[in-house]
Structure formats: structure tokens, C-alpha cells
Amino acid sequence: MRLKKINFPLILGCLFILIVFVVTVVGFFYTPYDPNQMAIRNRFIAPSKTNLFGTDQYGRDLLSRIMVGGQTTLTVSIIAVTVGMVIGITLGAIAGYTSHAWDEFLMRIADGIYAFPSFLLALLLVTILGSGKTPIIIAIIIGNVPVFMRITRSNFLKLREMDYVMAARAIGASPWRIVFKHLLPNALGPILVQGTASFAAAILAEASLSYLGIGVQPPQASWGRMLREAQSFATLAPWTIVFPGIAIGLSVLGFNLIGDGINRYNSKD
Amino acid sequence: MDILEVKNLVKHFPVNKGIIRKREVGIIKAVDNISFKMVAGETLGLVGESGSGKSTTGRLIVRLMEPTSGSIYYNGQNITAMSQSDFRDLRKDFQIIFQDPYASLNPRMTVGEIIAEPLIVHRLAKGKDLDKRVDELLYLVGLSSEHARRYPREFSGGQRQRIGIARALAVNPKLIVCDEPVSALDVSIQAQVINLLQDLQKEFGLTYLFISHDLSVVKHIAQRVAVMYQGKIVEIAEKDELYQNPLHPYTKALLSAIPVPDPEAKIKRIILKGDVPSSINPPAGCRFASRCPMAREDCFEKECTLQDFGNGHLVACHSVTHSKNN
């Protein structure tokens, strides 16, 4: 084997995501304070030994709220992107490998979804389903499906003309075998890169929807909600906006770096 | 005995234009009414420049494409009339070796998996037998069993081509379409692969359709040679006959282009005028007429068909037929 260059983006990205995950997962079992416990006398305590990240306008501990808020933000984005990815890959594979008619039919629908602003879609869903996690998850899924459809389809169209796919057909391999053994493994690289970018986008989408007030409802915490609530006090108590901001930034940067790293790894062979 | 007979084989590709309503603006006649026979155990060389339809012919024979019309008989059975599912069992008898050894092996599979795939698909071996058979095949093409666990990227072009050959051999085929199997390789490696193909042919009685644009390679391996131009076979003959006594003006021009390793030798190089005409909507008459030094008036009007000039030497050319008759 050749000596491989160290893949810094991948390592750094994994490190960031690891930090975010550890902090969030620990939040399930332990938080320094009750994240929803208000104590007006303790409001706007600057970061200190007792409150590492300080407190907000109700005197709630920010570190505890970030730990719990991460649960909302990360579960929403993980569920939404994973489901969107699976549906998108499936439909994209059908479009890219079966008939021209299916291709046209599915891709025109995908174009239609693409053309519809996803924020508007989210607002629509909230109106129908009421606010909470579910409409946000559904909105992000619908937004992600055409993205993965396109990337899967275009890779399938390219790969199905490769000689090794021809060889598999000459052998008499079934379409299932060709899709799962030859096309999908070779298309997975770009799909995963897109996946990491979509994670980053989903975190931002959840944050912005919560920021607009149509995500999770108070007193439940999410990173986007925390930003919204802290907005009015940004100059008075900057830490209330800085720490949730860092949490969002770190996860988005981490996922993007991982994507970059995967890309580098793939382009090696 | 004829193992394969190709009768009036045609493959047309439509050329579409327009975004919303696709209009057919032309037809590429990739393979245009060709017929030939192959005898079991022989190597038929199929030569021609790029775009002449030789690869399409190969792919039609292994049914990677469906012909527009015409038929292919394998041991007297019309395989073009069979559905893909009926053809599945016969598929074992036909294999193909590709030109580009870098594109013909799946980079995400190990060499062992690649060679085992045909055996798994046709349920020919399982478990220990499978591993044994893969080792056998690797050995057969001059590789060793420890290569099975490696990935294609760890091999050179020549080795990769050997892996491709092992995959084709796995199902004990009768007929192998070799689609320019050595043109992507270094000259020193070309000889090794050609010799390997010849050894395997002797050992297993294989029949080869050897597609190439390299006339010297074809001269080395083939017993008979067919020359294609713009989707048509213009001349077909025994190798020695074709190389010593070419009749079709296109074959003559092609042969005059083979470099001779003797600087003193004086060969008359026939340089064709003009370019290869577009194969979209070709004109009536002989496809070669516009570039042919021997073209007569009727060449532009009537298509020429293959005529027998004795000893299985077939030529499609009006002028040649004419001068023979006079």
C-alpha cells in the first residue's frame, strides 16, 4: 500500500461532530442544572465557574439547555436526512436504471418539488399539522428527496454505461445484482458527500424554522429557539447568543468537513 | 461446422432533437445489413476504423444490444428471436472481453469477487468449490491465488486484462468476442495477452471474434479477416488471401498504411482523399464512393453487395466486380 496523506478535513470534521454528539448524548443522562428551571434572580449570569456558559433571561443554565437543545436539533436532522436519503436514492435508482418513461415521470416531479420554496412548504405543513418536530421533519424530507434523486440518477446514468456493468450484463447478472453490486457501491461516494452537506443544511433549517417560531415550542429547547429567545438581549448578554451559535456552527462545519474528507478519499482511487 | 451465423444484421440508432417533443432528425446506421459465418474453433478478425460498427457488431452478438433487424444463429438456433430470459442459459456460451482494462473491472470488488461473479450468477459453484475454481482461473491466466483478495487498482493494465479474461472464461464459454482486447496495452504486454488468448483457444477450443483496428495484431491471431467500413462489411477472406491479394480499394488503402519495419522498403502508400463521411443519413450507393480512387458512376447510385471471388473471398465493390467480368 502507498503511504496515504493524512486526511485533515475528515479527522477535524469527525472531531467536531464527536464533540457535539458527546455533549448531546450526555444531556440524556446528566445536565448540570434542570434545563427548564427558571430562577429570575440568576438571570444573565456571565459565563463563570457555576454556570459554564452563563444563564439566559429566565436564569436557565445555558450549558444544560444546549445539551438538551442538541437532542432536538440533531434528532430532527438525522431522521429527516436519513429518510430523505433512502427515498431519494430509491426513486433516483428507478429513474436512472429502468425506463425512459419512469425517468421523465419521476424527474419532472422532482423538478416540481425543487421549484417549490421549502420554507413555504414548512409553513404550509405547520398550518396543517400544527407546530412541533413532525412538520419540520417532513418538510426537510421533502426538500431532500429531489436532491438525492438527482445525484443518484446522474451517477447511475453514467455508471450503467461502464464496461464492468456491460460485463455483468454479459454474464447474465440480474438487474438487482447490477444495482446493488455494481451501481450503488460506486455511486455511494458522491451520495455520502451530499448527505453530509444535507445534514449541515438540515441543522440550519431546523434552527431557522425554530428561530421563526414554528419549530419546537417553549419551554422545550432547540438551538434555533435559543437564538430566537436570546436575540433581544444580544448586546446585554452576548453569551446567550454566542454559545448556541457555536453549537450550530460546529456541527455544520463538522459535517461539511466530513463531506470534504470523503470527497478527498474517493478521488484517490 | 458453423458455430455462428449472422444474417442481414442491422442496428440503427435514432438521432433525436428537441426538448419537449423529441423529433427524429436522422438515423445512425451503425451496423447496416451485414452477414457472415464463423466456424467453431476459428478466429475471425473484424477490422475497420473507429465508427465503422465493429464494436456494435460484437455487442449485438453477445446481446448487450438488441438488433434493429436481422438474425443471429448459434448452432442453428436463432438467438435474436429468444427473449432475454430464455437466452439466459445460453448466455454462458457467449462472453466478451473489453478494450479498456481500467473500465472493465468494478473498482469496489476484489479480483476474487469479480471472477466469482459469473459462477455465482449461473450457480456453477459454491463455498470451497468456488474458491478453488477462482484459484484455477487465476492460475490459467498467469496470476496466482493470493491476487484474489486484492482490488483492481493494485494491478497493471496487462494484469487487469488477464483478470477480465479469467472472468470471461469462468463460465466455459464457446465464443468470445474480443473487443480490441490489446489496443489499450503497451506493445510488450500486447504480445503476452495475445499469446495467452491463443493458448486458451487451443486448450478449450474457443472461437474468437477478434475486433481490432490494428492490422498487424489481426494478422497474427486471425485465420479469417472481415473489413468493415461505415457499418458494412466490404471484404472478407482468409487471412493470407486478404493480406496478399486485397481486392477492395478500402482494404488496399488500409493495408498500405501498415508500417513496415524496414526503412529501405518502398511501399506505395494509398492516401485516401476526404474524411470519413458522417454515418447519420448516409447517401445512397456505396458508402466509400466519395473517397474511392476507383469509383465509377454506378457506385454513387447502387449499393454493392458481397460477391464471391472464389475460396470464400467476398468483396462488395462495383469496380472490382466489373473488372473481373471483363
Provide, as residue numbers in chain A, all residues whose Cβ is less than 8 Å from the Cβ of B116. none
Provide, as residue numbers in chain A, all residues whose Cβ is less than 8 Å from the Cβ of B153. 269
How far does the CA of residue A94 sit from the closest CA of chain B (Å)?
20
Give the separation between CA B78 and CA B86, rounded to whole angstroms.
12
Closest CB to B121: pick one of A164, A172, A182: A172
What band does A202 get if pLDDT is binned at 50, 70 and 90? confident
Q: Which residues pair with A81 in a beta bridge?
A: none
How far does the CA of residue A258 sit from the closest CA of chain B (Å)?
21
DSSP string over B14-49: EEEE-SSS-EEEEEEEEEEEEEEEEETT-EEEEE--
How far does the CA of residue A84 sit from the closest CA of chain B (Å)?
25
What band does B105 get if pLDDT is binned at 50, 70 and 90? very high
Does the pLDDT at position A95 exceed 80? yes
Q: For chains A and B, what is the number of CB pairs under 8 angstroms?
A: 59
Lowest mean pLDDT among A39-48, A141-150, B241-250: A39-48
Give the separation between CA A244 and CA A248, rounded to whole angstroms.
6
Give the separation between CA B9 and CA B45, rounded to whole angstroms.
18
pLDDT at residue A4, as a whole number: 61
Q: Are strands B23-39 and B2-17 parallel, antiparallel or unpaired?
A: antiparallel
B37-47 average pLDDT score: 92
Provide, as residue numbers in chain B, all residues whose Cβ is less than 8 Å from the Cβ of A155. none
What band does A1 get if pLDDT is binned at 50, 70 and 90? very low
How far does the CA of residue A182 sit from the closest CA of chain B (Å)?
7
Does the pLDDT at position B269 exceed 80? no
Identify which of A53-67, A141-155, B79-93, B278-292 has the greatest average pLDDT: A141-155
Are B94 and A173 inside 8 Å of each other by CB? no
Which CATH superfamily is B2-325 part of?
A: P-loop containing nucleotide triphosphate hydrolases (3.40.50.300)
What band does A151 get if pLDDT is binned at 50, 70 and 90? very high
How far does the CA of residue B272 sit from the closest CA of chain A (Å)?
33
8 Å CB contact between B321 and B298? no
Q: Which residue of B has its CA nearest to A188?
A: B108
Q: Which residue of B has its CA nearest to A183?
A: B106
pLDDT at residue A46, as a whole number: 74
Instruction: Tell me what the pLDDT averaged over chain B comes to.
Output: 87
Are A170 and B164 inside 8 Å of each other by CB? no
Closest CB to A162: pick one of B103, B109, B117: B103
8 Å CB contact between B289 and B234? no
What band does B116 get if pLDDT is binned at 50, 70 and 90? very high
pLDDT at residue A269, as a whole number: 52
What band does B267 get if pLDDT is binned at 50, 70 and 90? low
B171-186 average pLDDT score: 90
Residues of chain B with pLDDT > 90: what percent?
37
* Burial class of B101 by CB neighbour count within 10 A (0 to 12, 13 to 18, 19+): buried
B239-267 average pLDDT score: 83
Q: Could you tell me what percentage of chain B is helix, strand and coil, using 3-state DSSP and rounding each to the nearest 5?
A: 35, 25, 40
Closest CB to A170: pick one of B95, B99, B103: B95
Give the separation between CA A178 and CA A163, rounded to whole angstroms.
12
Residues of chain B with pLDDT > 70: what percent?
98
pTM of the model: 0.82
Q: Is B65 on the interface with A (CB under 8 A)?
A: no
Provide, as residue numbers in chain B, all residues whose Cβ is less than 8 Å from the Cβ of A183. none
Q: Is B117 on the interface with A (CB under 8 A)?
A: yes
* Burial class of A194 by CB neighbour count within 10 A (0 to 12, 13 to 18, 19+): buried
What band does B36 get if pLDDT is binned at 50, 70 and 90? very high
pLDDT at residue A164, as a whole number: 93
User: First vs last Cα of chain B: how many Å apart?
Assistant: 35
> Looking at per-residue confidence, does A111 or B321 come out higher?
A111
Residues of chain A with pLDDT > 90: what percent?
24
Provide, as residue numbers in chain B, all residues whose Cβ is less than 8 Å from the Cβ of A162. 103
How far does the CA of residue B104 sit from the closest CA of chain A (Å)?
4
pLDDT digits (tens, 9 = 90+) for B3-35: 899 999 999 988 887 776 777 778 888 898 899
Give the separation between CA A42 and CA B284, rounded to whole angstroms.
94
Closest CB to B107: pick one of A169, A172, A186: A186
- Residue entry with cell 424527474: A107
Q: Is B150 on the interface with A (CB under 8 A)?
A: no
pLDDT at residue B271, as a whole number: 77
A16-24 average pLDDT score: 90
CB atoms within 10 A of CB A80: 26
A85-98 average pLDDT score: 93
How far does the CA of residue B102 sit from the closest CA of chain A (Å)?
9
* Burial class of B20 by CB neighbour count within 10 A (0 to 12, 13 to 18, 19+): exposed
pLDDT at residue A268, as a whole number: 58
Lowest mean pLDDT among A24-28, A225-229, B167-171, B200-204: A225-229
Which CATH fold topology does A8-23+61-266 show?
MetI-like fold (1.10.3720)
Closest CB to A172: pick one of B100, B106, B122: B122
DSSP reduced 3-state for A211: helix
> Looking at per-residue confidence, does B72 or A236 come out higher?
B72
Cβ-defined contacts of A21-24 (< 8 Å, 24+): A21/A74, A23/A66, A23/A67, A23/A70, A23/A247, A24/A67, A24/A70, A24/A71, A24/A74
B288-297 average pLDDT score: 81
Q: Is B310 on the interface with A (CB under 8 A)?
A: no
A214-220 average pLDDT score: 76
Domain ranges for chain A: 8-23+61-266
Are A181 and B153 inside 8 Å of each other by CB? no
Provide, as residue numbers in chain A, all residues whose Cβ is less than 8 Å from the Cβ of B64. 166, 169-170
DSSP string over B243-269: HHS--SHHHHHHHHTS--S-TT-----
Provide, as residue numbers in chain A, all residues whose Cβ is less than 8 Å from the Cβ of B104. 163-164, 166-167
Provide, as residue numbers in chain A, all residues whose Cβ is less than 8 Å from the Cβ of B95. 170-171
